Amino acid sequence: MTTKNLVLGFDGADGDFIDAMIAGGELPNFARIRKNATVQPIDNAPGQGNVQLWKCAAIGEGPDHHGRYFYLQFDPKTYDIRLAGELGLPELTPFWVRLDNEGYRVAVIDWYGMPPTPLKNGAIIDRWLPHESLTEAVFAPESLRAETEKYVPFNPIAESFASRKRQTPEALKDFFERVLARIEGKARFFAEHLKSQDWDLYMACFSDAHSIGHYYYHLQDEEHWRYDPEAAALIREPLQQCYRALDKAMGIILDAVSEDTNVFLFAGPGMEPFTSANTALDEIARRMDFGYSASHAAPLSSAETAKKTYRAFLPERLRRRLAPLARALRQRFIDNDYKRRRFFSIPHGSGAGAIRINKKGRERYGVIAPGAEYDELVEEIREGLSSFLDADDGRPIVKRVVCMAHEYDGPYRDMLPDIVVEWQRDGRHGGFRRIVSEKFGEIDVPPSIRSGDHHERGYLWSPAKLDLPTAPARPECVAAILLSAVRG
């Protein structure tokens, strides 16, 4: 059996980190591919996270052509925050479905963030061993479920990191070991599955660098404010351990294909210390919208007022029983609060904050006219955000404020945030704890359980013999490159 094209996907893996380990004499299997590869940096869309990078790579189009930016999105018709799949956005068609329709034999295992569309001529496994087990795994054909269980009988991290507190060194070590425990079994399944039939394209993806990068980055850096020497002694060099395990897995897979196989590597976006003010962005936006002084704070939103009252008068045990009703009521308060404001924060990945402008003709209750009034408000928001400093070191918290209307012109641009706020991470060893502005006062930033987060860069390694470009490109290029490789 032959495999013509093999893609090894490493969600959350960092190409620079891999290169550094190779330079240090490690990762022989990564080095084996890197030696004969053309390396193309992949620059993610402004303010977008790893789901966007993998999604755009799969469909060959940017976010303004599909309208998705986060799993929770703002609905301009109702002011609700809804699942992206409930907004009537266009169907996503990844490039492998096109290949399948042309008669090519394709397998796609655990590609991140795409709907598991069954293939007529190939195989799909989705969310088998993912970063977070939010939904059930899908096997098409269903017989693959039993095949995978021979190698990994159950997902060792089916209970995600965030599902319960993991604060002690022993708890951190337990979860870390369970992440690593599944890597080799997955690789052995890939090796046998590769040999089961002829493949025009086989895409084997791992998510483990994603999990380790989010939750163990602080153990790599003694200057990180969350560095725990006891945990670091138990879990030495967690990122390096993860990449070594992935390298070993890669060797198992490479031994299952011939020297003639075109081997690609798609990785990213990589990791850096978690630094985000997303958890404070609603308060920032409210102060910028309503004004602030030390003696007269911006009014609490209806949602925050209801939340404080709810907690003050109901005991914790009763609050837990009423949690679903409380969430529904709070959403209703949020909706009403949005309608009276010029702009407000909306959910987004932690790498960048997102702000929506209440625009006339687009939002149902819009208050800001398109054109000059809109542009003036964008500049007002930009100046306000840029006034905030890290209270601990006095440095700006904002790297860049991006107006999406100036970046994109696709048919679904208006579904995207109006503004994304990229946080300044350079040279920092951990997240913001307090931020301050001369105009808008001081704000506490609620902490995150993550200590590492994605930066904007990914990488595509392609066989040098294919003579492909090396200039940085957006992730949309990945679909075109792999389509061309398969079609010959």
Q: Is the pLDDT of residue 314 over 80?
A: no
Residue 328 · residue 335 · CB < 8 Å: no
**What residues contact 458, with CB distance under 8 A and at least 6 apart?**
15, 41, 42, 43, 44, 53, 57, 266, 267, 268, 269, 270, 475
**Does 160 lie in the same domain as 49?**
yes
Residue 75 has a pLDDT of 94
**Does 291 lie in the same domain as 224?**
no
pLDDT tens track for 66-102:
999 998 999 999 898 999 989 999 999 999 999 999 9
How would residue 178 be classed by pLDDT, with cut points 50, 70 and 90? Answer: very high
How would residue 234 be classed by pLDDT, with cut points 50, 70 and 90? Answer: very high
| Token pair 């959403």: residue | 331
Residue 293 has a pLDDT of 62
**Does 471 lie in the same domain as 430?**
no
Instruction: Compute the distance between CA of residue 87 and CA of residue 100 in angstroms, rounded to an integer.
Output: 27
pLDDT tens track for 437-446:
999 999 999 9
**Does 338 lie in the same domain as 239?**
no
**Does 37 lie in the same domain as 149?**
yes
Structure tokens at 464: 């040098």
How would residue 294 be classed by pLDDT, with cut points 50, 70 and 90? Answer: low
**Does 363 lie in the same domain as 266?**
no
pLDDT tens track for 9-29:
999 999 999 999 999 999 999
Residue 127 · residue 135 · CB < 8 Å: yes
**Does 265 lie in the same domain as 282?**
no
**Does 368 lie in the same domain as 230?**
no
Give the count of domains, the chain. Answer: 2
pLDDT > 90 fraction of the chain, expressed in percent and rounded: 77
How would residue 31 be classed by pLDDT, with cut points 50, 70 and 90? Answer: very high
For 90-118, the DSSP string reads PPP--HHHHHHHTT--EEEES-TT-----
Residue 217 has a pLDDT of 95
pLDDT tens track for 132-158:
887 899 999 999 999 999 999 999 998
Give the three-class secondary structure for 276: coil
Strands annotated E in 347-397: 352-357, 389-390
DSSP-derived letter for residue 212 is: H
- CATH number, domain containing residue 26: 3.40.720.10
Q: Is the pLDDT of residue 283 over 90?
A: yes
In a domain, 449, yes or no: no
Q: Is the pLDDT of residue 419 over 60?
A: yes
Residue 206 has a pLDDT of 98
Task: List the domain range (segments joined by +) for residue 143.
Answer: 5-272+455-487
Q: Is the pLDDT of residue 316 over 80?
A: no
**Does 255 lie in the same domain as 110?**
yes
Residue 308 has a pLDDT of 45
Of the two residues 381 and 324, the one the predictor is more confident about is 381
**Does 265 lie in the same domain as 340?**
no
Instruction: Compute the distance between CA of residue 355 and CA of residue 234 in angstroms, rounded to an integer.
Output: 41
| Token pair 């200039």: residue | 471
